[in-house]
Amino acid sequence: MDHRNGYINIDAVSAVNPDLVHDISKTLPYKDGTVQEVIAQDILEHFIFDDFIFVISEIARVLKDGGTLHVRTPNVDAILHQFEDDKEVRNIFLYGSTAHRTDTGVFGAHKIGFTRTRLIAELLVYGLEVTSIGTNETNFEASFVKSTPLKAESILFLNQALSIGGAEVFDTDLFSSLKQQGVRVAAYTNNTIFAHMLHFSEISTLSVPWVVDFIGNVKGLIKALVYGPLLFFWYGKTVYAHRSVDVMVVSGFTEKILASFWAYVFDIPMVWIEFGPLTTVLNKCMQLPKLLYRLVADLPERVIVPSQNTAADLLRSARISLAKIEYIPCGTSQQSSKKFSDVAQPVIVCPSRLEKGKGQDILLEAFAQVLKDIPKAHLQIIGVGDFITELEALVTKLGIQKSVSFLGRVRDVDEYLQKAQLVVFPSVWELEGFGLVTIEAMALAKPVVAFNRGPTNEIVVDGETGVLAEPGDSGALAEAIVKVMHSSKLRMKLGTGGLKRFNDLYRIDLVAEQYQLAFRRAIAWHRAGKK
């Protein structure tokens, strides 16, 4: 290691002994638990975060139990303080020297800045407990010992669900998968259907006694202000009863407002799940929801979002700290197809709640145009909701009654998806958090047609797993549908691509592993803040 420049001169060392050089961004050439001591001086700050995590996990893997890791890395706070009057030198210390390619080049660049808490927390995630940490000029010098890796073995889940949608389906699949991995889950909800879904997955579920809705209409807000104090103290009693859990997880707005305080009081690491954007929600009722939300926004250790679309909104409207946001896509336990299988009948399926913003009205207008090109096409709309009356009237107005079926709530959505040529997800809902329908279609190797807007365009890759149309444009949507329905070759390409993307990213076991890591990180940051 050249400590002046902070990088390994691989060519020079290789010339002496090639066996002494190894790229530490790749798997270390040692067996598990065989190394007693590792020294990483002026190393960790040079990795992007994903590579840093990999390097730390590899060091933890090869260290013996009780083995030690010694770290030296820049102390960002000390650098800012020491060089506050010499900003050019400050920047060299912060970002590294890249002035001369023959000197350090890109290898001299710093890509991670560590605070004391972050250094302790990120290593603790992988079972590396800090034994000493101090500062030497502008550096941290710390020692860590290999101990038992962190694990979230018990979870308290609180969620008021005013309706059943993709979030509740995902929550059920997630906690069922975590239970299979040995995690104990205690759940509380007010929604009987959601409770039955959790019970069916053998998740212990109890009832929340009052429905409190801070983000509904004015009448609901008045009711919330009456029952809110009762529910606040009920949550206090409930959280106290479960104070020994490893992590408390909340996904509903009400729980974040009323239960987060109790996790803080009883010293429980807390994770929020925010599925969709909050701008519209926070601005309701004279912005009272925004005031309440911001009062507790600093309390969770981690805030999990399923899309970058949601993350961007939280940073802007809710002022959630960027350092706390964890991006983890939703997943599904749906069994995936082995391969693409085409369907001869020109059937389109659209499963979703029937409500304004989910786009069924735009789809019907587009479908009327599709019928001019493909007269035998048939559209099946699956779902329930108050929007049904308006949709049925629109079907009559367009004169397409014989080509459209409203199937309501069906027992097995997969049965209808499998018999479809393509699946349409026409949502333009400003609160859309993910769109579980899209990955359910991809799991069955079905092409997806949707609008090119967040978060859908993070899931559906235009031209690879589906076709994206101009948002809200019924003509563009019709054109995309016709394009897919006219070409079996294109359907095969999109369906095969979607199936691969599903297996790579959206299987519930993969998603549950990412949630486990986020829970471990919440525990680690919670503990690191006390050291």
DSSP states along 398-459: HT-GGGEEEEES-S-HHHHHHT-SEEEE----TT----HHHHHHHHTT--EEEES-TTHHHH
Q: What is the pLDDT of residues 233-262, one digit of tens each?
A: 999 999 999 999 999 999 999 999 999 999
Lowest average pLDDT, out of 76-85, 226-235, 272-281, 434-443, goes to 76-85
Whole-number average pLDDT of the chain:
91
Residues in the chain: 531
How far is the CA of 13 from the CAs of 41, 72, 97, 112, 190, in angstroms?
Answer: 17, 22, 22, 26, 65
Q: What is the pLDDT of residue 18?
A: 55
Structure tokens at 105: 């080049």
**pLDDT at residue 192 is higher than 70:** yes
Rg (CA), the chain: 26
**CATH 3.20.20.60 is held by the domain 154-331+510-528:** no
The counts of H helices and E strands in the chain are 20, 17
CB-CB contact of 482 with 476 (8 Å): no
Cβ burial of 141 (10 Å; 0-12, 13-18, 19+) is middle
Cα–Cα distance measured from residue 442 to residue 498, given in angstroms and rounded to the nearest whole number? 5
Average pLDDT over every residue of 337-343: 93
Q: What is the pLDDT of residue 522?
A: 97
**pLDDT at residue 160 is higher than 50:** yes
- CA 234 to chain CA centroid, Å, is 29
Cα–Cα distance measured from residue 363 to residue 474, given in angstroms and rounded to the nearest whole number? 7
> Could you tell me the residue ranges of all domains in the chain?
10-146, 154-331+510-528, 347-506
* Whole-prediction pTM: 0.90
**pLDDT at residue 517 is higher than 60:** yes
Q: Give the number of C-alpha atoms closer than 13 A to the C-alpha of residue 94, restricted to the C-beta side.
A: 16
Structure tokens at 266: 């009883």
Q: What is the pLDDT of residues 447-501, one digit of tens each?
A: 999 999 999 999 999 999 999 999 999 999 999 999 999 999 999 999 999 999 9
Which of 148-152, 212-216, 400-404, 527-531 shows the highest mean pLDDT?
A: 400-404
CB-CB contact of 299 with 260 (8 Å): yes
Lowest average pLDDT, out of 90-94, 193-197, 508-512, goes to 90-94
Q: What is the pLDDT of residue 191?
A: 93
Q: What is the pLDDT of residue 90?
A: 86
Average pLDDT over every residue of 509-531: 94
**pLDDT at residue 4 is higher than 80:** no
**pLDDT at residue 13 is higher than 70:** no
Q: Give the number of C-alpha atoms closer than 13 A to the C-alpha of residue 297, restricted to the C-beta side.
A: 21
**pLDDT at residue 512 is higher than 80:** yes
Q: What is the pLDDT of residues 260-313, one digit of tens each?
A: 999 999 999 999 999 999 999 999 888 989 999 999 999 999 999 999 999 999
Q: Do domains 10-146 and 154-331+510-528 have the same CATH topology?
A: yes
Average pLDDT over every residue of 76-100: 83
Average pLDDT over every residue of 413-439: 95
Superfamily designation of domain 10-146: Vaccinia Virus protein VP39 (3.40.50.150)
Can you say whether the dihedral through the CA atoms of 226, 232, 237, 242 is positive or negative? positive
**pLDDT at residue 1 is higher than 90:** no
Q: What is the pLDDT of residues 379-405, one digit of tens each?
A: 999 999 999 999 999 999 999 999 999
Do you find a cis peptide bond into 455, omega within 30 degrees of 0? Answer: yes
**pLDDT at residue 101 is higher than 70:** no
Q: In this structure, which topology does domain 347-506 adopt according to CATH?
A: Rossmann fold (3.40.50)
Question: Minimal CA–CA distance to 305: which of 283, 288, 321?
Answer: 321
Question: Minimal CA–CA distance to 250: which of 170, 304, 309?
Answer: 304
Q: What is the pLDDT of residues 30-67, one digit of tens each?
A: 999 999 999 999 889 989 999 999 999 999 999 999 99
Q: What DSSP element (H or E) covers 498? A: helix 488-501
